[in-house]
Amino acid sequence: MEKRIRDIKDRCLEKEDPFCASACPFRLDVREFIGRMQRGAFNSAFRLFSNTVGFPAIVAALCDQPCRNVCPRGRVDAPISLNLLEKAAIAYAANTGPNSYNLPPKQGRIAVIGAGISGLACALRLASKKYAVDVYERSGRVGGALWNVLDSAVFLEDIRLQFSNEEYGLFLDHPVLDIGPLLEKYDGVYIATGSGGDSFGLGREAGPDEGIPFATSLPGVFLGGSLTGATLMEALSQGLKASLCIEDFLKTGEMRSAKKNNPTRMRLAPGAIVFTHAVLPASGEQYSKEEAAAEASRCIRCRCDACIRHCGLMSYFKKFPGRIAEEVQITVTPGTLDGDGTVATRLIATCSQCGLCGEVCPENIDMGEFLRAGHQAMHEKGAMPWAFHEFWLRDMAFANSSRASFSAPPPSGEKCTSVFFPGCQLGASDPRYVSESFRFLLGLEPGTGLTIGCCGAPALWAGDMALFRKVCETLLENWRQAGCPRMILACPTCLEMFSRYLPEIDCVLLYDVLAGAGRPSPERGDGTVVSVFDPCAARNRETSQQAVRSLLREAGFSLAALPYEGKIAQCCSYGGQINIAAPKYSRWLAEKRSKDGEHPYIVYCSNCRDVFLQAGKPVRHILDVFFGLNGESAGPPAYDERRKRREKLKEDLVRKYWPELEEPGKEGAMDSRNVLTIPPDVREKMNGDRLLEEDALAVIEQCEASGRRVLDPATGHCLGYGEIGYMTQWVEYAPSPEGYVLFNTYAHRMKIELE
Amino acid sequence: MEEKTKLMCGKCGVEMAPAPTQFSYLGHVFRTEVLRCPSCGQVFIPESLARGRMAEVETILEDK
């Protein structure tokens, strides 16, 4: 876990500088500068610029804009005119004077050799921090190489203005021939003697990873500027950095060169830039305030944010991978013994683990895998609330119990060459999806057997690896007993589980088989436009994606692409079974996914189908089209109905194909003769709360058997509770001739501890 | 189902009355007053409590 967290933090590019700032000698915080310019905050934009560059007028006049060459807008329309924006900040800021800092004088005397722009920058920063600074210049004027490139009125005025609040010693016509005497008098020295100037025999002592100015072999002596071959802007920036190196030396006694500017590793998400025209100054030279704000608004303030743009979880909770990794770290390994600070428990249980983040991330960081590992760690510690997954684990237990699950050889008695494994939810969604598919597969290949059950995904999603492995072992054993046949799977999640955890089993998706059968669909789409909503578990199954599309085209449907499909398919919200831990987010996600496309969806995952039915989105399963079922969108099946359908499916299939397998009794089944009558409004409420009819009846019968119940004389109803798994379920009921009438039922997670 | 209605214990025929009761969730144990049978201790939790304050505390404990 620790290693994974470090890996995410190292690889995540969220905190990388934008391209412009990376190319800028001053590493101007362009994102912040642009933000201030966008809202017309010229004063604060100017202050940021001025504080970063030291001499704003000189930099605005001379900057050769390396940012323009790297601005990604340059490849779409035109790079941002940062230099014109800097000039606008200077022009429209109300106060362009330097700040005056009322600080006490500091210990430490510093000599600067050379009054060029690099030496002056170093002197300015140190003087403003109230160190005693003396500048030695061999000529009779300040400015050095600036005289060759810029109107002296501009730079002399900027130098005068920036030093106007500071005191420092300036010694013109004062060449330094020997550095020795300076070392006796001063605690630190910055050598900035300009291009071709004297380096006093001091070579570069810094390592290749260190930047300029660099620490020389003499304590307290640093060297930088045009002397090292730097351009004027680089020289200025090095002077600013030299002040930090010297101050670092004064405080710690360590000789450390400036840090090298490493190029940014930033990557932009595809499609991040939309074409806009560059804003040109109407005056020809300078932006008006409005033009400056408009040009600033063209800047997208580059950030590597593909994950947060595309992932529902990260965009909803506004958390980048680094932040999530930190929160998971303190949750899984809390700093205090009582476990305080487990801030991400719910977040861990909110990820659909769909893999989209890893697909869109330039570094392929898959946060779903990471959160799955976090989930497992929390489960192992017993720190994941049982309530988040209990309902679904009970559903898995039901699906794998003899009430719904069975495994049978080919009805023809032939050697088993394939086994159809529809998974646990396909029959719950619509039993005909299973029965029709099996009938069709038998027609293609009489040696097809049938296994109905769950692949174990709910256990994996709950972080319960022991349970998951147990399910896998049973599946593997059944497969071996069947003679290691090919498995035909209907659920893309099952395929994901099988290919990853049971790689020895040869699997194929049902839809590939249907597309290869060459049988026309009974339906004619007649050009009806639909969109295929690829399930997230099939993002790497291009053959299956194409199989479904070819089935639809052959049936006469027209296809409209969705923004997210194929490789970048999104989860419908079912993945991870997050809807108990995060009901609001889960609903938000399902609604968002429903609105991705305006046309009806065709899905090939029954969970996608049921999620979209619940969200009111017109949707059909590809099996509806292939077998001519559910012409009009059916309603979403309630949880009680889902159980009943699966039980009935087993009964019907066994009766039809394997009458000899019929069992007298079933494990865990209700053998009650009582009929529970439930008014429709109560039934609807129960479904919303995931409370099952059979559990309500079991609680009533417990109450009746034990006599532990409360009577409400006003209504004549009985009230009682029972524990269903970990949950406590209450029932309000009255006896009826057939059994009972249920008037209300509700549940809580807290356990009543009877003394 | 509201608390104000008089409720009788189905076993003892006695009127239910508020009494301290112990609850537990995720390793946390706490006591609060709910309706109980003064004779056999049978508990009653109305829906308003289960969906209201109890659900709030459950969420707090899950996020703790």
What tokens does A64 get?
């050769």
B42: nearest CB among A387, A708, A730: A708
Chain A residue with CA closest to B62: the answer is A385
Residues 6+ apart with CB under 8 A from A384: A345, A348, A349, A375, A378, A462, A463
- For residue A207, what pLDDT is reported? 65
- For residue A683, what pLDDT is reported? 96
What tokens does B13 get?
């025929």
A385: nearest CB among B26, B50, B55: B26
- For residue A58, what pLDDT is reported? 97
- Most A CBs within 10 A among B29, B34, B37, B63, hence the mutation to make, goes to B63
**DSSP, residue by residue, A539-563:** TT-HHHHHHHHHHHHHTT-EE---S
**What CATH number has the domain spanning A520-627?**
3.40.50
Residues pairing with A739 in the sheet: A675
Is the ipTM higher than 0.90? The answer is yes
Residue A569 DSSP label: -
Residues of A in contact with B20 (CB under 8 A): none
Residues of A in contact with B22 (CB under 8 A): 752-753, 755
Give the total residue count for chain B: 64
Chain B residue with CA closest to A338: the answer is B64
Contact criterion met (CB below 8 Å) for A119 and A113: yes
Nearest chain A CA: its distance from B13 CA (Å): 9
Tell me if B6 is assigned to some domain: no
Domain that holds residue B58: 17-63
Residues of A in contact with B16 (CB under 8 A): 710
CA atoms within 13 A on the CB side of A287: 26
Residues of B in contact with A388 (CB under 8 A): 62
Chains A, B: CB contacts within 8 A come to 94
- For residue A156, what pLDDT is reported? 97
Query: Cβ of B10 and A342 within 8 Å?
Result: no
Tell me if B1 is assigned to some domain: no
Residues of B in contact with A719 (CB under 8 A): 1, 7, 44
Nearest chain B CA: its distance from A605 CA (Å): 31
Tell me if B32 is assigned to some domain: yes
What is the band of B2 on the pLDDT scale with cuts at 50, 70, 90?
Answer: very low
SS3 state at A534: coil
Residues of A in contact with B21 (CB under 8 A): 752-753
Q: Cα–Cα distance between A743 and A373 in angstroms, integer? A: 43
* Alpha carbon of residue A727 to chain centroid: 33
Q: Is the peptide bond before A422 cis (omega within 30 degrees of 0)?
A: no
Residues of A in contact with B40 (CB under 8 A): 708
Q: Cα–Cα distance between A538 and A491 in angstroms, integer? A: 9
Query: Cβ of B63 and A710 within 8 Å?
Result: no
Residues 6+ apart with CB under 8 A from A312: A352, A570, A571, A573, A585, A588, A589, A592
Chain A residue with CA closest to B6: the answer is A712
Phi, psi of A676 (to 5 degrees): -100, 120
Residues of chain A scoring pLDDT < 70: 204-208, 335-341, 632-634, 663-671, 755
Nearest chain A CA: its distance from B46 CA (Å): 9
Contact criterion met (CB below 8 Å) for A589 and A312: yes
Q: A109-252 belongs to which CATH class?
A: alpha beta
- For residue A532, what pLDDT is reported? 98
Nearest chain A CA: its distance from B38 CA (Å): 13
Query: Cβ of B1 and A754 within 8 Å?
Result: no
Query: Cβ of A711 and B9 within 8 Å?
Result: yes
User: If residue A155 lies in a helix (H) or strand (E), which one and from where to where?
Assistant: helix A152-162
Residues of B in contact with A682 (CB under 8 A): none
B58 near A CB under 8 A: yes
Tell me if B2 is assigned to some domain: no
Query: Cβ of B6 and A721 within 8 Å?
Result: no
- For residue A337, what pLDDT is reported? 55
- CA distances to A65, A76, A358, A565 from A81, rounded to whole Å, are 9, 14, 34, 37
B22: nearest CB among A339, A387, A755: A755
Provide residues of A within 8 Å CB-CB of chain B.
339-340, 342-343, 345-346, 385, 387-388, 703, 707-714, 718-721, 730, 732, 744, 746-755
What tokens does A216 get?
């020389």
Query: Cβ of B43 and A707 within 8 Å?
Result: no
- CA distances to A1, A374, A387, A614, A644 from A371, rounded to whole Å, are 10, 5, 18, 27, 34
Residue B52 DSSP label: I
Count of the separate structural domains present in chain B: 1
Residue B43 DSSP label: E
SS3 state at B9: strand
- For residue A339, what pLDDT is reported? 52
What tokens does A427 get?
């029959």
CA atoms within 13 A on the CB side of A626: 29
A748: nearest CB among B10, B26, B45: B45
Tell me if B11 is assigned to some domain: no
Chain B residue with CA closest to A712: the answer is B7
Q: Cα–Cα distance between A113 and B36 in angstroms, integer? A: 89
Query: Cβ of B29 and A753 within 8 Å?
Result: yes
Q: Which of A558, A566, A502 is nearest to A531 (CA)?
A: A558
Cα separation of the two ends of chain A: 42
H, E, C per residue of A688-749: HCCCCHHHHHHHHHHHHHHCCCEEECCCCEEEEEEEECCEEEEEEEEECCCEEEEEEEEEEC
Residues 7-46 of B with CB under 8 A from A: 7-11, 16, 21-26, 29, 35, 37, 40-45
Chain B residue with CA closest to A339: the answer is B64
A754: nearest CB among B35, B41, B61: B41
Residues of A in contact with B63 (CB under 8 A): 342-343, 345-346
**Nearest-5° Cα angle at A448, A446 to A449:** 135
B62: nearest CB among A346, A703, A710: A346
Phi, psi of A269 (to 5 degrees): -65, 140
Q: Cα–Cα distance between A314 and A324 in angstroms, integer? A: 9
pLDDT at B5 over 90: no
- For residue A209, what pLDDT is reported? 72
Q: Cα–Cα distance between A722 and A254 in angstroms, integer? A: 71
- For residue B1, what pLDDT is reported? 46
Tell me if B49 is assigned to some domain: yes
Residues of A in contact with B1 (CB under 8 A): 712, 719, 732, 744
What tokens does A176 get?
């330094």
Chain B residue with CA closest to A754: the answer is B22
SS3 state at A321: helix
Strands A406-408 and A448-452: antiparallel
Residues of B in contact with A751 (CB under 8 A): 23-25
Residues of B in contact with A721 (CB under 8 A): 43, 45
